[in-house]
Structure 1
């Protein structure tokens, strides 16, 4: 008998590319959900990104106040960016902190690696 995970597994019958550029690939996946309903679901493929959490001696976090045109909102963000081909994510994080904030960090300690937004995105180091 199938376990609960298998009873809720979606089946992917294929995917077609809708849009592709340096930063994002958009696909439409032909999926079937439990119960047999079949439809197309958007899938966003992103390259890997590195985000830095920079703390000072008082454990204050370095944040950037940035405008995002998509939502027409301002908000606080951590510095980060895309990992270049063959680049170590730690090197990316350090580079992005320096590029985006002009701050130079002397301590470099990786704390965590993360993937993607699980509902509809992937992130990969290869294209």
Structure 2
């Protein structure tokens, strides 16, 4: 078994598996990584690609991904000033590992929907 168990908060904060996974498995971060698959994009293009993310949430998640080394932020002084984001080699490696999960998710959606409906029928509250 993978070393995922910890005895206390101090151990949890030092667990490499938890540290990395908690930062890349958030709803928006995985979608941002997928949005950058085809190359650099400006902030507005990423927001349009995703659709339902607020500017604040997108900004926070882009900063987090940049901090962890998954993407770079490039400022072109213009005029006009243009900021773009691009996956780093580490980001491309994450994307390569993420894509099988994305394909699997799409393939399993009908089974998940069926399971949810059955559960909701059995647990009406």
- Scaled by the length of structure 1, the TM-score of the pair is 0.20
Higher helix share: 2
Question: Which of the pair has more CA radius of gyration?
Answer: 1
Higher strand share: 1
- Scaled by the length of structure 2, the TM-score of the pair is 0.21
